[in-house]
């Protein structure tokens, strides 16, 4: 374990600047988001605040993909499974048991951990393209089961999720209030971000990076890669499910489309556009893509072509994503002399 | 807003400038699938609405105000549909919303309408739940629901083949099972007997494995709610095994459509289904509608196009009766209102917001659907099961 830390230190000598650059971007993002929230609130807006809230919720899903893809080197094509699991759990709890935010989140945490462990045992038996296919298959199977289960609303989904009040100790947040709920989700997603970013900086995170680099050598460092892959998988499942649980609080319904490949695929695209392995990149990517879809979708019905072309251009011109393109420049500015990695 | 609609709106403003120089347009939001699997349905919705809006605007608009249509692509995904609906309500400030196709979208967008205190009507979704157990005070349906389609078919069956033995074959998923259950209920209520049922997986390649059970039960009629290429395989295999002799095939309205009728070929001959519209309807109103539709878009309208066309007249009648576009007054005006459509006069039932309309039994003859029976609206509508308002 000490070796891992040592090699981690060596690899990121001057990594302080890398971290600082990314954390600075996160701070800028937070300030811009708060400014947006205040302006939109002052202008009496509802739509853009709620659209931004949705973008942040899908940013959580993208972060969960990034934990697997960017840190552990596992491409999950079925992360919507856990996002949908969280959304359905939260919807059912709020609708049929009681409009309690903490109960919904608690149930989601328990179910996502169970489902993530089970799914992890299946998917982590294989690597590479097989892992991608297994995760894809798992999500399709669960989506079809939900699609055909009358108790879960089948193809129609569940409507009638109440607009809840979220008690936060000193004060409460009304989910129906667009500005308040936006700020709440912003805080929630950025806390998740901070938590994951911290975790990725610990020996645990370094081991995940080592697995991505060369998982055959990890046992020589005294770590069992399978254990770490399982932990990463369950962590990612929980991140996806907890943000998914916020979806019905915003939109008041869930539908099986939330679990479809469409949702998983979009999350992967978001991560690649934003910057793989940066965590803040997926958040920025989600905000940008959601805004772009909304604008282009109104402008032309051929919006899928426009988004597709932009995606290809971004892969060709910005192979490391938005953050990957900004980071070297920012690092350079921060340290004055650091050569970009 | 697309270029097309803005050009349309501009043209309308010019033509109606004499009568309504200062009148604000009435804005109707249309959230409909313009891309993906359901795009052909969305296209019919769009054509029907645009044609009706143009005709209404040429005659001075609704209460002197021109109609403006604002389209948004919902990708047949409720999660996209709610976002687009909210945009139309909050940013474009539309007075009314329509266009949703799959019932999940209609239900979810209906809830958005409720929370924004605006009204919505679907012209396509036929899931019974929208105007029964999941009904909403803000949602209306101007097209026929699944229950009306199976009631019309059961009515025709009772008239043509009373007390016959019916075998049911559905696709094995939730919707397939519920359509079979609904038709079985409607048919057995009229005196038909149940010869057995079987559910085949979606996308089955081989239906012959069920033919033994089918023959053993000796039915006079087989009901099926499979769709698309499944229908092609089922009917051609029945034909190859010689089982179509002395057997009447009836089915859901989506079983045999213009998309797969060519591939089924002569095995489709004699197939009967219940529908809410057919371009064959012989009334002068429908002839005028079909001619105008063909002239504008070089193709026949289907039921989605016709019901969407009728929607503009429904809204027009309601606004003129209420004298306003305000939600509460308009809702009251819509309840019980009668309006003209290509199918004739429809009535909006106040208790559950479901349109009551004449239904048709249509049969495939020489590769084309011909009307073989008409069922009065009251006979097909069924009970009001909405308890929410």
Could you report the per-residue pLDDT of B75-94, keeping only the tens digit for each?
889 999 999 999 999 999 99
B194 lies in the same domain as B265: yes
Q: Give the rounded percent of residues in chain A with a pLDDT score beyond 70.
A: 93
Instruction: Please state, in angstroms and rounded to a whole number, the distance separating the CA atoms of residues A279 and A282.
Output: 6
Per-residue pLDDT, averaged over A99-126, amounts to 96
Candidate from B35, B71, B104 with C-beta closest to A156: B104
Buried/exposed B247-257: b ≥16 CB within 10 Å, e otherwise: bbbbbbbbbbe
Could B174 and A303 be called an inter-chain contact, meaning their C-beta atoms sit closer than 8 Å? no
**Residue B370 domain-assigned?**
no
B298 lies in the same domain as B233: no
* B306 phi-psi bin (left φ>0, alpha ψ -120 to 50, beta other): alpha
The band of B17, judged by pLDDT with boundaries at 50, 70 and 90, is very low
Say yes or no to pLDDT of B97 above 60.
Answer: yes
Q: Which two tokens stand for residue B181?
A: 């259950």
B117 lies in the same domain as B153: no
Among chain B residues, CA nearest to A53: B83
Domain end, chosen from B259, B275, B291, is at B275
Among chain B residues, CA nearest to A149: B174
B107 lies in the same domain as B178: no
B263 lies in the same domain as B163: yes
The band of B13, judged by pLDDT with boundaries at 50, 70 and 90, is very low
Say yes or no to pLDDT of B21 above 50.
Answer: no
Q: Provide the H-helix boundaries in chain B.
A: 3-15, 39-58, 78-90, 103-115, 146-160, 174-189, 211-216, 229-240, 261-264, 284-297, 303-322, 327-334, 377-381
Domain end, chosen from B275, B292, B326, is at B275
B191 lies in the same domain as B307: no
Looking at beta carbons, which residues of chain A come within 8 Å of B79? Answer: 251, 255, 257-258, 263
Say yes or no to pLDDT of B297 above 90.
Answer: yes
Residue predicted with more confidence, A20 or B13:
A20
The predicted structure's pLDDT at residue A164 = 93
**Residue B76 domain-assigned?**
yes
The predicted structure's pLDDT at residue B146 = 87
B268 lies in the same domain as B287: no
Q: How many CB atoms lie within 10 A of CB B93?
A: 11
Per-residue pLDDT, averaged over B128-137, amounts to 91
Say yes or no to pLDDT of A2 above 70.
Answer: no
B267 lies in the same domain as B286: no
Number of domains in chain B: 2
The predicted structure's pLDDT at residue A17 = 67
Domain with B192 in it: 148-275
Where do the structural domains in chain A lie, given as residue ranges? 2-335
Could A159 and B134 be called an inter-chain contact, meaning their C-beta atoms sit closer than 8 Å? yes
Contact map slice: A 165-224 vs B, CB within 8 A? none
Q: Report pLDDT digits (tens) over B29-38.
A: 999 999 877 8
The predicted structure's pLDDT at residue A336 = 65
Q: Give the rounded percent of residues in chain A with a pLDDT score beyond 90.
A: 71
B8 lies in the same domain as B119: yes
B90 lies in the same domain as B136: yes
The predicted structure's pLDDT at residue A306 = 87
Q: Report pLDDT digits (tens) over A262-310.
A: 999 999 999 999 999 989 999 999 999 999 988 888 888 788 888 889 8
B280 three-class SS: coil
How far is the CA of B216 from the CAs of B159, B163, B196, B269, B374, in angstroms?
26, 19, 10, 24, 33
Q: How many CB atoms lie within 10 A of CB B27?
A: 21
Mean pLDDT, rounded, of chain A: 89
Q: How many CA atoms lie within 13 A of A322 on its CB side?
A: 20
Looking at beta carbons, which residues of chain B come within 8 Å of A149? Answer: 174
Candidate from B35, B72, B127 with C-beta closest to A304: B35
Could B174 and A148 be called an inter-chain contact, meaning their C-beta atoms sit closer than 8 Å? yes
Domain end, chosen from B256, B275, B294, is at B275
Say yes or no to pLDDT of A123 above 50.
Answer: yes
User: How far does A157 lie from chain B, in Å, by closest CA?
Assistant: 6
Per-residue pLDDT, averaged over A110-114, amounts to 97
Q: How many CB atoms lie within 10 A of CB A126?
A: 12
On whether ipTM exceeds 0.90, the answer is no
Best mutation target among A80, A83, A257, A263 (most B Cβ atoms within 10 Å) is A257
Say yes or no to pLDDT of A19 above 90.
Answer: no
Q: Evaluate whether the domain defined by A2-335 bears CATH number 1.10.3470.
A: yes
The band of B12, judged by pLDDT with boundaries at 50, 70 and 90, is very low
Please name the residue that has the structure tokens 């057919």: B278
Please give the helix or strand (H or E) that residue B68 lies within, else none.
strand B67-73
**Residue B84 domain-assigned?**
yes
Q: How many CB atoms lie within 10 A of CB A155?
A: 20
CATH number of the domain within which B78 lies: 3.40.50.2300
Q: Report pLDDT digits (tens) over B155-178.
A: 999 999 999 999 999 998 877 888
Per-residue pLDDT, averaged over A192-221, amounts to 92
Cβ proximity of A69 and A267 under 8 Å: no
Say yes or no to pLDDT of A10 above 70.
Answer: no
Cβ proximity of B48 and B305 under 8 Å: yes
Per-residue pLDDT, averaged over B30-55, amounts to 91
The band of B1, judged by pLDDT with boundaries at 50, 70 and 90, is very low
Instruction: Please state, in angstroms and rounded to a whole number, the distance separating the CA atoms of residues B39 and B48.
Output: 14
Q: Report pLDDT digits (tens) over A23-60.
A: 888 899 999 999 999 999 999 889 999 999 999 999 99
Could A302 and B1 be called an inter-chain contact, meaning their C-beta atoms sit closer than 8 Å? no
Per-residue pLDDT, averaged over A143-159, amounts to 90
Question: Can you name the residues that pair with B354 across neighbouring β-strands?
Answer: B141, B349
B355 three-class SS: strand
Mean pLDDT, rounded, of chain B: 89
Instruction: Please state, in angstroms and rounded to a whole number, the distance separating the CA atoms of residues A166 and A147.
Output: 30
Say yes or no to pLDDT of B14 above 50.
Answer: no
Please name the residue that has the structure tokens 């029976």: B373
Looking at beta carbons, which residues of chain A come within 8 Å of B111? Answer: 159-160, 252-253
User: How far does B340 lie from chain A, in Å, by closest CA?
Assistant: 31
Instruction: Please state, in angstroms and rounded to a whole number, the distance separating the CA atoms of residues B275 and B292.
Output: 22
Question: Can you name the residues that pair with A166 across neighbouring β-strands?
Answer: A173
The predicted structure's pLDDT at residue A15 = 56
Closest alpha carbon to A293 in A285, A303, A305: A303
Per-residue pLDDT, averaged over B51-72, amounts to 94
Q: How many CA atoms lie within 13 A of B199 on its CB side?
A: 12
Instruction: Pick the range with the lowest mean pLDDT from A257-271, A326-340, B217-231, B252-266.
Output: A326-340
Could B104 and A255 be called an inter-chain contact, meaning their C-beta atoms sit closer than 8 Å? yes
**Residue B363 domain-assigned?**
no
Count interface pairs A-B at CB distance under 8 A: 88
């Amino acid at each position: 374990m000490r070796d891992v830390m040592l090699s981690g230190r060596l690899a990121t000598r001057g990594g302080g600047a890398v971290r600082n650059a990314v954390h600075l971007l996160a701070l800028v993002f937070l300030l811009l988001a708060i400014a947006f929230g205040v302006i939109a609130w002052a202008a009496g807006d509802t739509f853009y605040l709620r659209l931004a809230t949705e973008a942040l919720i899908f940013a959580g899903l993208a972060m969960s993909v990034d934990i697997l893809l960017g840190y552990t080197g596992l491409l999950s094509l079925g992360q919507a499974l856990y996002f949908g699991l969280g959304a359905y759990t939260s919807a059912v709890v709020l609708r049929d048991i009681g409009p309690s935010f903490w109960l919904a989140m608690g149930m989601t945490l328990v179910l996502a951990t169970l489902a993530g462990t089970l799914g992890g045992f299946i998917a982590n038996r294989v690597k590479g393209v097989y892992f991608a296919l297994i995760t894809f298959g798992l999500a399709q199977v669960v989506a079809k089961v939900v699609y055909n289960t009358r108790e879960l609303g089948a193809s129609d989904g569940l409507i009638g999720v109440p607009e809840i009040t979220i008690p936060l100790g000193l004060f409460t947040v009304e989910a129906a209030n667009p500005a308040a709920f936006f700020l709440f989700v912003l805080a929630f997603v950025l806390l998740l971000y901070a938590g994951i970013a911290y975790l990725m900086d610990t020996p645990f995170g370094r081991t995940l990076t080592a697995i991505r680099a060369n998982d055959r050598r990890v046992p020589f460092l005294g770590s069992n890669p399978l254990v770490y892959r399982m932990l990463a998988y369950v962590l990612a499942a929980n991140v996806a499910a907890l943000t998914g649980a916020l979806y019905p609080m915003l939109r008041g319904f869930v539908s099986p489309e939330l679990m479809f490949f469409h949702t998983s695929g979009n999350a992967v695209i978001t991560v690649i556009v934003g910057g793989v392995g940066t965590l803040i990149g997926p958040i920025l990517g989600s905000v940008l893509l959601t805004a772009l879809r909304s604008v282009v979708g109104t402008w032309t019905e051929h919006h899928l072509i426009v988004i597709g072309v932009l995606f290809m251009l971004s892969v060709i011109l910005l192979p490391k994503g938005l953050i990957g393109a900004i980071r070297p420049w920012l690092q350079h500015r921060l340290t004055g002399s650091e050569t970009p990695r | 807003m697309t270029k097309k609609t803005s050009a349309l709106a501009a043209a309308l403003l010019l033509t109606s400038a004499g009568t309504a120089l200062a009148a604000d347009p009435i804005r109707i939001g249309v959230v409909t699938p313009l891309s993906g699997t359901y795009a052909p349905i969305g296209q019919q919705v769009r054509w029907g609405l645009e044609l009706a809006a143009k005709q209404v605007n040429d005659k001075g608009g609704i209460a002197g105000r021109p109609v403006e249509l604002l389209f948004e692509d919902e990708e047949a995904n409720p999660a996209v549909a709610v976002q687009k609906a909210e945009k139309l309500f909050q940013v474009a400030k539309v007075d009314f919303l329509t266009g949703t196709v799959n019932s999940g979208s209609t239900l979810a967008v209906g809830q958005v309408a409720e929370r924004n205190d605006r009204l919505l009507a679907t012209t396509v979704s036929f899931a019974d739940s929208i105007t029964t157990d999941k009904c909403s005070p803000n949602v209306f349906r101007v097209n026929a629901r699944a229950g009306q389609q199976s009631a019309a078919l059961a009515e025709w069956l009772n008239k043509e083949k009373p007390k016959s033995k019916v075998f049911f074959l559905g696709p094995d998923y939730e919707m397939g099972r519920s359509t079979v259950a609904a038709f079985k209920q409607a048919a057995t209520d009229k005196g038909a007997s149940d010869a057995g049922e079987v559910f085949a997986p979606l996308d089955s390649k081989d239906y012959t494995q069920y033919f033994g059970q089918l023959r053993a039960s000796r039915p006079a009629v087989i009901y099926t709610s499979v769709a698309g290429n499944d229908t092609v395989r089922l009917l051609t295999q029945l034909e190859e095994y010689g089982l179509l002799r002395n057997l009447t095939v009836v089915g859901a309205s989506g079983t045999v459509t213009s998309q797969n009728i060519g591939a089924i070929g002569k095995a489709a001959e004699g197939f009967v289904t219940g529908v809410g519209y057919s371009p064959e309807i012989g009334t002068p109103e429908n002839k005028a509608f079909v001619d105008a539709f063909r002239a504008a878009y070089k193709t026949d309208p289907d039921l989605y196009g016709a019901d969407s066309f009728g929607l503009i007249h429904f809204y027009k009648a309601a606004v003129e009766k209420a004298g306003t576009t305000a939600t509460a007054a308009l809702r009251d005006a819509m309840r019980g209102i009668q309006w003209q459509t290509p199918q004739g006069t429809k009535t909006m039932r106040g208790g559950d917001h479901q349109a009551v309309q004449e239904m048709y039994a249509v049969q495939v003859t020489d590769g084309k659907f011909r009307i073989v029976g008409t069922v009065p609206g009251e006979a097909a509508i069924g009970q009001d099961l909405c308890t929410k308002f």
